[in-house]
Amino acid sequence: PRAGTQAHMHGLRALARHRHSLAHADRIVLRDLVFRGRHGVLAAERELGQRFEVDIVMQTDHEAAAASDHIDDTVSYVGVYDQVRSVVEGPPRALIETVAVEVAREVLSGNARVDEVTVVLRKPQVPINGILAYASVEVSRDREWL
């Protein structure tokens, strides 16, 4: 009986969190940010660098900004762009997974108004013996993860 009650309570808490996230499903989206980075497993990728494309989706609450119509009550697009750029153009990493997680950490830690962030990182120039538009990774992190 006790295990069933605990499972039921866990389910209720999960439902409450889901309803809360739906109630505040406001988002800010920065799409197709382009940077030159030196990430990759191969030495040539790290030496020559290449193009990386990034999408950022930030879950936030627009109520304060909508009420005040003031920039201080929202997330600065310029600030987020600069944070993403500092990671993607920063120290070389072997894996784009590492870069995407570092971008998520930077955006969350630098913006108290962002509750959750999703980062999509695309690498168009993949050293593969075949044709593809790009390789990409997607990571989503929330404030609890910090």
Query: Known catalytic residue: 123?
Result: yes
Contact 143, 110 (CB under 8 A): no
SS3 45: helix
The residue annotated as part of the active site, out of 75, 123, 139, 141, is 123
In 3D, which of 56, 66, 73, 61 has the Cα closest to residue 22? 61
Sequential DSSP letters for 50-114: EEEEEEEEEEE--HHHHHH--GGGS--HHHHHHHHHHHHTSS--S-HHHHHHHHHHHHHHH-TT-
Helix (H) or strand (E) holding 15: helix 2-23
- Catalytically annotated residues: 123
